[in-house]
Structure 1
Amino acid sequence: MNEHGQEVSLKVAVVGILHETNTFAPGLTGLDDFTGEWIAGKEAFYARYEGTRTSMGGVIAKARELGIELIPGLYAAATPSGMVAAGAMETLMGEVLRSVDRTADAVIVIMHGAMVAEHIPDVEGEFLERLRGMVGYGLPVAMTLDLHGNISRRMVELADIIVGYDTYPHVDMFERAEEALELLWRTARGQIRPVRALAQPAMLVVPQAMLTEQGAMRELMEEAFALEKLPGVLNVTVAGGFPYSDVPDAGMAFVVTTDNDLPLAERSAEWLSELARSRKEKFAVRFVTPEDAVRLALAEQEGPIVLTEGSDNVGGGSPGDATHLLALLVDPQVPALVVIRDVEAVAAAFRAGIGGMFETDVGGKSDTLHGCPVRLHGKVRTLFDGIYRHVGPYMTGQLADMGHTAVVECGKLTVVLTEKRQAPWDLGHVRSVGLWPADFHIIVVKSAIAWQTAFGPFAKKVIHVESPGCCTSNLHLLTYRLVRRPVYPL
């Protein structure tokens, strides 16, 4: 019996490392970058995630429903960023592996699928191999992955169950974690014998083309859902892939898991892969220059008009301080909102204090690719510690931390300056500092698609902007060395 009076049907260890690695982004990701979400042990795990719409929250909820004794080890996550330093990766992987309870009947691992270290191009595959070295090859292991994971054959061979998100923006990680744990439970009880097949259509797709509510990606998802209704099919995972990780397995992938029917899994995965290849042209997205984007936004009578600065997509590992759009909005004719990460500018705002005059160079400090610093003059309106909880459909209840944050008003331009990079996944991104999206005619988001869970209900029009950056939509501008070729569109 567990603490809730339920008969324990299974003991399941849960651990995870989550990072989306942009190998083209400036700098390295170190161990300190994971300290903001470094949760170890049952008490801390439940306190942080119970009741949240996260993968971890889904695992907790399904474990309670099935009477599973959940044994949390270490879960660590960092905001998407550059390559993980070798030393940091070894320390992190070692700590997570040591936290796996050796008495467990099964293990569920929460990862992204596009994590890359200096010395390991396939971190998820390497982690599974080291885990198998500890627990053996007979213990059931399930893995949850982001829709933007780059899935390798090594991962598919080493995990009994792989379940990826079905939505972008990602609003179903709770449900997918529940699904993964239930399949793991059924496997451990001998009710099913999962086998898996992987198919890769050799396609690099930009995130803006992966919106699952429309277009080619929706068509693929609908076909996957139809396959899941076939007798013997346990799960179909459609991974759009992450084109900003230069690794051999970068790109779209399909994993079909069946109940001991490998030919069915192989046929189904390859059919989806052929379908994707036949529709590759449908993944094209129209982009405009920053100058045209601002001009088109100003021509609209009603806002908000959302300008997606996807080349500086914080959720894709970009530095969050690109100024290509900011430079064009220094003196806008209409109310405009820009969120930008700049540690020095935040410090200047805090020195000035609320109501104080602000004059400093903002943005463009990470490298030369994302623009030059822009001189701003204004008044400090708000100072904030930067911590809030998600209130929208994306990871509802999850804690977010922008670091020290300042709101500066520069005429009709409002700039939110953050100390830490924080993607605009939730309305709390601006609501926490007293701002409301409907008050602005132009909203600049450093995001590709995920911004919709925050600003989607307010947007009257969306304009995708193409500018230089490590998340550029023009993949020909990036220097790929490791990706397996031939691959579309390179």
Structure 2
Amino acid sequence: MTLRIAVAGILHETNTFAPGMTGLEHFKSESVNGLDAFLLRYGGTRTSMGGVIDAAKRHDVELTPGLYTAATPSGMVEAAAADVLINNVVDSIDSDISGLVLIMHGAMASEQYDDLEGECLRRLRAKLGDRLPIAMTIDLHGNVSKDMVRLADVIVGYDTYPHVDMHERAEEAFDLLVRYIREEIRPTRSYGHTGMLVVPQAMMTETGSMKTIMDRAFEIESDPQVLNVTVAGGFPYSDVPDAGMSFIVTADNDQQLADRYAAELVQLAVDLKESFGLDHLSPDEAIAAALAESSGPVILVEGSDNVGGGAPADATHTLRQLVGIRERALIVIRDEQASSIAFELGVGSIFQGPVGGKSNPLHGEPVEVTGKIRLLFDGQYRHVGAYMTGQLAFMGRTAVVECGQLTIVLTEKRVAPWDLGHIRYAGLWPDDFKIIVVKSAIAWQTAFGAFARSVIYVDTPGCCSANLEHFHYERVSKPMYPFDPEPQPRFM
């Protein structure tokens, strides 16, 4: 009998400290419904959706896509938008299916739902029943709730940061779902929360403490009775009760084993808690250090304005220090107004005016710049690197302005520097610059990592700051490290 497997989802990383609200309009640029649209948009891409397509072909099952929609990480999701999104996803799924793959982030929150993924699962269960097999994929930065673990039969999170294994993890989730439908396995889940908030800058999975944790997770997965281990580093910029690092261990009909491994991983993370701290320099110190380097590019990581974490991409704390710099430097700034003015002036004209600093005072004031407009383009490109290869990106109207040795790329929309296309399609190349400022935490490495001669982390104010003391938390479960001296783990 041919299996009919549905796929649907909503993907948004919600930064509750970010300026502004996220409404339905923010999901319009990536919203597909139905098989033809799904295959056209994601076929052949190294995305979660592409992984589902490839796995369905391999298993020779009938794929029945419902609604899948996503928005760039940003501020709190509006209440009305949240209900419309959830209801549209639920309504788009045919009840006559063998199973469902749900593609979510894990750290989506709205005005009325701290745990939007859990609420979506609750409504799906109300429609599809408690026994329909559901597998869910989540981001490594998911804030996992007990409801998510209880209501999804299988949860598979990314193993990498930068995230270059979305395709593989979606295939893994699909494989486990098919095995469960065919009664070859019986997933049994255990959940453990560390009671720790960890910043994304400390979560790179190829080095340091996160590598230690991931290596142990992979060792546990080699146990024949273990189906999957998901390490969820958490998203500290979402002020919700479930924020923080957690683990999900899924065993094959062995609750004791799952519980034991989950407890072990929690303890390992707690033992490493002090190693997740980071050293940063002020913008002027960082630039001075970069100029002192014998060669470039030197990457200045302005993680406080991390687009991938919901920041506005218009922070000017570092830009202000770059004006008049004596060696070539590059920075990308989102400024819809400045971009529009550049398009009105045209290529070859002189741009003069304020840039950036228009979202809120936390991210700085506008900076006056003067430069020649060297290039204008529509800002659309496809990813050419390892991160979501083939995925479409839309920066909106984009202008390249040369202000002496400083090159400013003005974009209409916020797009994270996850791919070299971020600047390549604007006629720029990393090796031509001594200094490159990235509005990112870690994921910039998929674009610029191969070019970086050295890396300097910049400490500036912003809604994604690596210094969590900048934020006032009201809803995070307490006690919580690093605000409290000792983590208090909790389990399900």
TM range (shorter): over 0.9
Which digits, 9 at most, give the CA deviation of each residue in 1:242-284, with x for residues without a partner? Answer: 0000000000000000111011001100110011001101111
Higher deviation after alignment, 283-292 or 204-213: 283-292
The code of the aligned residue for 1:400 comes to A
Q: CA deviation at 1:10?
A: 1.1
Tell me what 2:15 maps to. Answer: 22
SS in 2 for 1:369: helix
Q: Secondary structure, in 3 states, of the residue corresponding to 1:196?
A: strand
Paired residue total: 483
**1:423-471 C-alpha deviation (Å, 9 max, x unpaired):** 0000000000100000000000000000000000000000011100000
2:454 equivalent in structure 1: 461
Question: In the alignment, what sits opposite 1:198?
Answer: 191
Shift of 1:101: 1.3
- Partner-residue secondary structure (3-state), 1:301: coil
What displacement does 1:285 show? 1.5
- Report the equivalent of 2:103: 110
Supply the distance in 1 between the matched residues of 2:131 and 2:186 (Cα, whole angstroms).
12
> Any idea what the Cα deviations from partners look like across 1:150-174, whole Å, max 9, x if unmatched?
0000100000000000000000000
Structure 2 residue aligned with 1:57: 50
The answer on 1:83 being equivalent to 2:76 is yes
1:143 CA drift (Å): 0.2
Displacement of 1:193:
0.5
Instruction: Provide, for residues 163-219 of structure 1, a one-character-per-residue CA deviation record: whole Å limited to 9, x for no partner.
Output: 000000000000000000000000001000101000011110000100000000000
Report what 1:46 is aligned to: 39
Give the superposition deviation at 1:288: 1.1
Q: Which residue of 2 aligns with 1:280?
A: 273
Q: Does 1:125 align with 2:87?
A: no
Letter of the 2:423 partner, please give it.
V
Deviation at 1:33, TM superposition (A): 0.2
* 1:9 shift after superposition: 3.5
Q: Name the SS for the 1:39 alignment partner.
A: strand
- 1:178 partner SS: helix
Scaled by the length of structure 2, what TM-score is found? 0.98
Residue 226 of structure 1 aligns with which residue? 219
Contact 1:147 1:240 in 2 (8 A): yes
8 A Cα contact 1:426 1:454, kept in partner: yes
| Matching residue within 276, 286, 289 for 2:282 | 289
Report what 1:157 is aligned to: 150
1:419 aligned residue: 412
Of 179, 189, 198, 1:186 maps to 179
Question: What is the aligned partner in structure 2 of residue 3 from structure 1?
Answer: none
Aligned-residue offset at 1:301: 1.3
Q: In the TM superposition, what whole-angstrom CA distance separates every residue of 1:105-134 from its partner, at most 9, and x where no partner exists?
A: 101100000000011000000100110000
Q: How does 1:172-321 map to 2 (within 5 A)?
A: 172-321=165-314
DSSP-derived class of the 2:361 partner: coil
Structure 2 unaligned regions, length at least 5: 484-492
Distance in 2 (CA, whole Å) between partners of 1:53 and 1:103 is: 29
Please list every run of at least 4 consecutive aligned residues from structure 1 whose deviation after the TM superposition is greater than 3 angstroms.
Answer: none
Q: CA deviation at 1:338?
A: 0.3
Does the aligned pair in 2 maintain the 1:348–1:360 contact within 8 Å?
Answer: no
Could you tell me which residue of structure 1 aligns to residue 342 of structure 2?
349
**AA at the equivalent of 2:252:** D
* CA RMSD after TM alignment: 0.6
The 2-side partners of 1:298 and 1:9 are apart by 62
- Distance in 2 between the 1:202 and 1:292 partners? 34
Counterpart of 1:5 in structure 2 is none
Per-residue CA deviation, residues 70-98 of structure 1 (Å, 9 max, x unaligned), is 10000000000000000111111111110
For the 8 Å contact 1:9–1:66, the answer to whether it is kept is no
- Per the normalisation by structure 1, the TM-score is 0.98
Q: Aligned partners of 1:48 and 1:393: how far apart in 2?
A: 18
State whether structure 2 residue 146 is matched by structure 1 residue 146.
Answer: no
What does residue range 350-365 of structure 1 map to in structure 2 within 5 Å? 350-365=343-358
Counterpart in 1 of 2:421? 428
Query: How far apart are the structure 2 equivalents of 1:343 and 1:150?
Result: 32
Counterpart position of 2:488: none
Aligned runs of 1:377-392 on 2, under 5 Å?
377-392=370-385
The separation in 2 between residues aligned to 1:134 and 1:484, in whole angstroms, is 31
> What is the rounded CA distance, in whole Å, between the counterparts of 1:19 and 1:456 in structure 2?
25
Alpha-carbon separation, structure 1, partners of 2:248 and 2:215 = 15
The offset of 1:477, in angstroms, is 1.1
2:432 to 422, 435, 439: 439
Q: C-alpha distance in 2, partners of 1:404/1:90?
A: 31
Is residue 322–residue 371 contact of structure 1 (8 Å, CA) maintained in 2?
yes
Q: Distance in 2 between matches of 1:10 and 1:214?
A: 41
1:69 alignment partner in structure 2: 62
Pairing of 1:478-489 with structure 2 (within 5 A): 478-489=471-482
CA distance in 2, matches of 1:57, 1:187: 21
Q: Distance in 2 between matches of 1:131 and 1:296?
A: 53
Cα distance in 1 for partners of 2:356, 2:290 equals 22
Q: Say which SS state the counterpart of residue 247 (structure 1) adopts.
A: coil
Match of 1:169 among 159, 162, 171: 162
CA distance in 2, matches of 1:382, 1:270: 55
Unpaired stretches in structure 1, ≥5 consecutive residues: 1-7
Could you tell me the percent identity over the aligned residues? 61
CA distance in 1, matches of 2:95, 2:165: 30
Assess if the C-alpha contact under 8 Å between 1:12 and 1:106 holds in 2.
yes
The Cα shift of 1:231 comes to 2.2
